[in-house]
């Protein structure tokens, strides 16, 4: 039984409970980070901590804490030391890890690209890529061979984001860029998990990382130089052109080349793996919940009748969106995110020391028994308007919350809604018989043993 939120005591100052360092290391080694943190939650309640050397890691699972950290007390929670590895090895000064005035300026410049209206510009290319995957899956369905569905979804989301950003067209360039950024992410994930050798050692992994980074930086610099060499009126209408044309309100200045590069890498890194995972988990959820699949098929058949979806027509497919939202609840691609406490504070009645890294968790808040009935059950009916409006406003935060909420949330909801409608209308991927996924946290939520499926045509 969970001590359902029982350890929160307003006004009483005390340290959060938690395991010793050796127990924590042993627990993570034996159960894996994701499951062990769940065990600690059941044992200690909504706020608990672990001390790692001089650092304190505080876990906070209650929706009130999500609001506290992201909204009401956000001035005290920033992206500092916890983001150093991401900043140094991946995103540089890009939006995910930047702070202060730079973050505020960049967020303001980029926000218009990602409004519900702004992302409509990318619907056509999402639909076109979906259609291409339909052709590929028709062949796969005829062959009846098993495919790794995660790979299928990673390729299409990489293709979509690269076209949206750079108007990249050839599959060769798409694979090259995708593989290079994935090599960079693998290196950073090992650094974050503390399982890599020191980053400066010239290991094979470090050399692979250096080569990947060089390729990514060179490709983006070449793209920028090519655009600068032609008239602005001929630039394609993609995210890179929008970034290059953007001017600061006050100074009138354009972004420097290194900032353009950092924002491009950041968008690719933040925008493709998360969406790929969400689509992968959607296929798993459908394969294991046949009654949901049946209702989804009923809606798609009735509304689309074999036609491709359009961005305007998505309003007619509410159940499809409910499925996506429920996938993001039960299998949030970002199961944890972290904020560094600038000054001492209190969370749920417990002391949080200055400098603590506060981990909030979509994965566990979305399973909190005070806010979700039968939380482990996949049930898209949780997303009817009535149910949604009667829930705690921060019980659901797959995209984080407050001013630093995911800037790409409208983009990814549009993409997953369109892709699921296009593909589920025609195909039913089936899981290998007896397959049991091993859920893990590898920076993003993942399935360690992959997701082998056979594509069958409906
Ligand atoms: C299902 C897909 C997605 C999920 C679950 C997701 C989740 C998140 C989360 C939890 C954060 C906060 C991270 C933190 O505070 O450390 C975030 C931030 C961010 N995401 Fe996403 N994301 C998704 C798709 C996208 C897409 C498609 C893009 C871009 C096109 C994108 C771009 C960003 C950026 C730039 C930030 C940093 C925003 C800021 O700090 O101002 N994401 N995302």
pLDDT digits (tens, 9 = 90+) for 73-115: 999 999 999 999 899 999 999 999 999 999 999 999 999 999 9
Residue 422 in contact with residue 398, Cβ under 8 Å? no
Residue 4: pLDDT band (50, 70, 90) is very low
In this structure, is residue 444 part of a structural domain? yes
| Residue 449, pLDDT above cutoff 90 | yes
Instruction: Indicate whether residue 407 lines ligand 1 (CB < 6 A).
Output: yes
What is the enclosing helix (H) or strand (E) of 195? none
pLDDT at 173: 83
Q: Best substitution site from 66, 406, 413 to test ligand 1's pocket, by max atoms within 8 Å of Cβ? A: 406
Residue 15 belongs to a domain: no
Q: What is the whole-number distance in angstroms between the Cα of residue 39 and the centre of ligand 1?
A: 27
**DSSP class per residue in 59-117:** EE-SHHHHHIIIIITGGGEE-SGGGHHHIIIIITTSTTT--HHHHHHHHHHHGGGGSTT
CATH code, domain carrying 400: 1.10.630.10
Q: Is residue 458 part of a domain?
A: no
Q: For the segment 141-198, what is each residue's pLDDT rounded down to a tens digit?
A: 999 999 999 999 999 999 999 999 999 878 888 888 888 988 898 888 877 766 555 6
**For residue 197, what pLDDT is reported?**
57
CB atoms within 10 A of CB 367: 18
Q: Which domain holds residue 217?
A: 21-450
Asked whether the predicted pLDDT for residue 242 surpasses 90, the reply is yes
In a domain, 287, yes or no: yes
Q: In this structure, is residue 359 part of a structural domain?
A: yes
Quote the tokens at residue 363. Answer: 């994965």
Q: What is the pTM of this model?
A: 0.94
Q: What is the pLDDT of residue 61?
A: 98
Percent of residues, the chain, with pLDDT higher than 90 = 81
Asked if the structure places residue 10 within a domain, the reply is no
What is the SS3 assignment for 354?
coil
Tell how far the Cα of 397 is from the centroid of ligand 1, in angstroms: 11
Tell whether 4 is covered by a domain: no
- Report the domain count for the chain: 1
Instruction: Read off the pLDDT of each residue in 328-350 and give the average, rounded to a whole number.
Output: 97
3 in a structural domain: no
């Amino acid at each position: 039984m969970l001590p359902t939120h029982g350890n929160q005591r307003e006004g009483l100052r005390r340290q959060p409970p938690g395991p010793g360092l050796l127990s924590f290391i042993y627990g993570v080694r034996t159960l894996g980070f994701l499951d062990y943190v769940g065990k600690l939650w059941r044992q200690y309640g909504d706020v608990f901590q672990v001390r790692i050397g001089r650092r304190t890691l505080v876990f906070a699972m209650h929706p009130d804490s999500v609001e506290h950290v992201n909204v009401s007390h956000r001035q005290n929670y920033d992206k500092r030391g916890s983001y150093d590895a991401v900043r140094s090895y991946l995103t540089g000064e890009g939006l995910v890890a930047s702070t202060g005035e730079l973050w505020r300026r960049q967020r303001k410049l980029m926000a218009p690209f990602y409004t519900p209206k702004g992302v409509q510009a990318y619907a056509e290319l999402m639909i076109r890529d979906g259609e291409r995957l339909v052709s590929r899956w028709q062949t796969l369905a005829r062959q009846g061979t098993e495919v790794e569905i995660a790979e299928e979804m990673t390729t299409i989301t990489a293709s979509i984001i690269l076209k949206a950003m750079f108007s990249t067209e050839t599959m060769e360039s798409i694979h090259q860029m995708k593989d290079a950024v994935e090599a960079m992410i693998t290196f950073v994930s090992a650094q974050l998990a503390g399982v890599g050798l020191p980053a400066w050692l010239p290991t094979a992994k470090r050399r692979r990382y250096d080569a990947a980074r060089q390729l990514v930086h060179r490709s983006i610099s070449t793209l920028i130089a090519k655009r600068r060499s032609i008239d602005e009126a001929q630039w394609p209408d993609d995210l890179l052109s929008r970034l290059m044309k953007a001017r600061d309100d006050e100074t009138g200045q354009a972004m420097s080349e290194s900032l353009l590069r950092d924002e491009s890498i950041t968008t690719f890194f933040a925008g493709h793996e998360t969406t790929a995972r969400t689509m992968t988990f959607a296929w798993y959820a459908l394969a294991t919940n046949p009654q949901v699949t049946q209702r989804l098929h009923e809606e798609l058949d009735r509304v689309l009748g074999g036609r491709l979806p359009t961005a305007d027509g998505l309003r007619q497919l509410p159940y499809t969106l409910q499925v996506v939202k429920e996938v993001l609840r039960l299998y949030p691609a970002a199961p944890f995110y972290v904020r560094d406490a600038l000054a001492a504070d209190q969370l749920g009645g417990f002391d949080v020391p200055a400098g603590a890294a506060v981990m909030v968790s979509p994965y566990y808040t979305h399973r909190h028994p005070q806010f979700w009935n039968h939380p482990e059950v996949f049930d898209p009916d949780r997303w009817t308007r009535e149910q949604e409006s009667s829930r705690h406003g921060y019980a659901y935060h797959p995209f984080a919350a407050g001013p630093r909420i995911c800037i790409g949330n409208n983009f990814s909801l549009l993409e997953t809604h369109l892709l699921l409608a296009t593909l589920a209308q025609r195909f039913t991927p089936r899981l290998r018989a007896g397959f049991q996924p091993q859920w893990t946290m590898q920076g993003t939520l993942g399935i360690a043993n992959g997701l082998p499926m056979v594509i069958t045509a409906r």
